[in-house]
Structure 1
Amino acid sequence: MREWITGRNPVFEILQTRRRQIFRLLVANGTEEKGKLAEILSHANRRRLPVQRVPRQQLDALSEGHQGVALEVSGYPYADYSDILKRATQRQEMPLILLLDMLQNPQNLGTLLRTAEAAGVHGVIIPPRRAAGITPAVVHASAGATEHLLVAQMNLAQAIDWLQKAGVWVVGLSGEAPHTIQQAPLDRPLALVVGNEGEGMRALVAKKCDMLVNLPMRGQIESLNAAVAGSIALYLAMMARQQTKKDKPA
């Protein structure tokens, strides 16, 4: 399967990571070849990748916000779930894993994946059906962060069982949870579960979590967007782990 990835950051990251098969690069006529585009063309030249100059309208037909560039590539290379814990071991770090339960919106998924990559998450697990997958729209929304992440597709209830057997503490985000996120042990091997934009986590997934937590709300609105809530929780986990590392005696 082939697909078109547009936008300068996503195209650059795909060329840099070399995880996908690459077929050709389209550049809009009249686009100034400087900055990120110059780096993209340099990568293409080193890899002897065919570059075609085309009318901007041709890229408009592929995607909005293409920024004058499009790359034809193979489909997204999903990882095996076992590779996620291996990555944590290779980095000599406690696992930090993100589980997404039935997220539907590509923008939300892309935003969370971008945050996950920035926060040092070792891998992401999403359901194989009835949820957004790693489409070109998600790659674009993540600014290419998808290309650096291990994303596995797996039944989430089974994934939680597997993680718990491996000694990973599973914490679910829920607006109705009895505990706040400050009460959760975020500085240990951790998997964070974020639910669907509308209904949150499914009952079975929530039941399997070791702990359900909420983000304290002091304003008038009742909840946060799934991508925002998940991003805040990931950064709180990252900061807790950094503090624990700092506090350890040398």
Structure 2
Amino acid sequence: MSNNEQDQTAADFVIGRHPAMAAIKSDQQINKVFIQSGLQADVLNDIAKIAKKRNLIVQYVPKQKLDRLTDNANHQGVAVGVAAFEYATIDDLFAVAKAKNEAPFFLILDNIEDPHNLGSIMRTADAAGAHGIIIPKRRAVGLTSTVAKTSTGAIEHVKVARVTNLVQTVKQLQEAGLWIFGTDMNGTDYRQWDASGAVGLIIGNEGKGISPLLKKSVDEMLTIPMIGHVQSLNASVAASLLIYQGYTSRHPLGK
């Protein structure tokens, strides 16, 4: 393998047709666009045209090379070599809300480790108009190519701030006027949640929930009622229900 190939293998990739299209349409720094040679698809042709308009390097390569570059992931015939995804600041998240003239609606993810869960949560956050996501630097997944692919392009539109200490960050948000909600087996039925003001919603770890120290910082707990045999939900599913309850209270019907 050449040094160039080694560099590309070490790089991060956005893979899949929709995520690739979103990446090349964004302001993100692109290193190179790899397209599978001999594969006929209108979407791939469109990706190549837009990439060339941006003066990006487009290289047609055999499927075997794409498989190797993406570690045999389902790349759908395209991989976009990108610079590392940039993280926002908390101030950036407030600026998004201010630009929309809306009360802040932030998601705080407590040690979400599965990149598919993070990608799915980003997708829902974008759809529901959340102003940003806050994640910890340690013991949690960051912005990776798997997250980008799962988000189907939402990673280009939802700002993510990465902080050293979630407990301290929550205190800062509360001082800035946000009411912080968490999720627990015992709490207010989420269907009664009014998120029309400035709010932060904490989504806990896939298996352990919200960490004890962070739980002490929460202003109010929300619970999702369950009457089935399995008394737990996947983190991204629980997040989606809560995010859309937030959306419903912030954008009521008839207004």
TM-score category (smaller protein): over 0.9
| Cross-structure match for 2:6 | none
Equivalent of residue 57 in structure 1, options 64, 69, 80: 64
| Cross-structure match for 1:143 | 152
Q: Distance in 1 between matches of 2:179 and 2:125?
A: 17
Give 1:162 shift: 1.4
Structure 1 length normalisation: TM-score? 0.93
Q: Distance in 1 between matches of 2:84 and 2:69?
A: 16
Amino acid of the structure 2 residue aligned with 1:60: D
Give 1:71 shift: 0.8
SS in structure 2 of the partner of residue 60 of structure 1: helix
- Cα RMSD over matched residues? 1.5
SS in structure 1 of the partner of residue 88 of structure 2: coil
Q: Is the 2:193–2:249 Cα contact (8 Å) retained in structure 1?
A: no
Q: Distance in 2 between matches of 1:131 and 1:143?
A: 20
SS in structure 2 of the partner of residue 72 of structure 1: strand
Equivalent of residue 249 in structure 2, options 234, 237, 240: 240
| Cross-structure match for 2:90 | 81
Q: Residues 43-192 of structure 1: matches in 2 within 5 Å? A: 43-63=50-70, 64-154=73-163, 155-174=165-184, 176-192=185-201
Q: Give the unaligned 5+ runs of structure 1.
A: none
Q: Is the 1:7–1:68 Cα contact (8 Å) retained in structure 2?
A: yes
Q: Is the 1:96–1:122 Cα contact (8 Å) retained in structure 2?
A: yes
Q: Distance in 2 between matches of 1:47 and 1:140?
A: 22
SS in structure 2 of the partner of residue 191 of structure 1: strand
Structure 2 length normalisation: TM-score? 0.91
Q: Is the 2:187–2:220 Cα contact (8 Å) retained in structure 1?
A: no
| Cross-structure match for 1:37 | 44
Q: Is the 1:187–1:244 Cα contact (8 Å) retained in structure 2?
A: no
SS in structure 1 of the partner of residue 169 of structure 2: helix
Q: Is the 1:170–1:211 Cα contact (8 Å) retained in structure 2?
A: yes
Give 1:39 shift: 2.6
Percent identity over the alignment? 39
| Cross-structure match for 2:33 | 25
Q: Residues 177-216 of structure 1: matches in 2 within 5 Å? A: 177-216=186-225
Q: Give the unaligned 5+ runs of structure 2.
A: 1-9
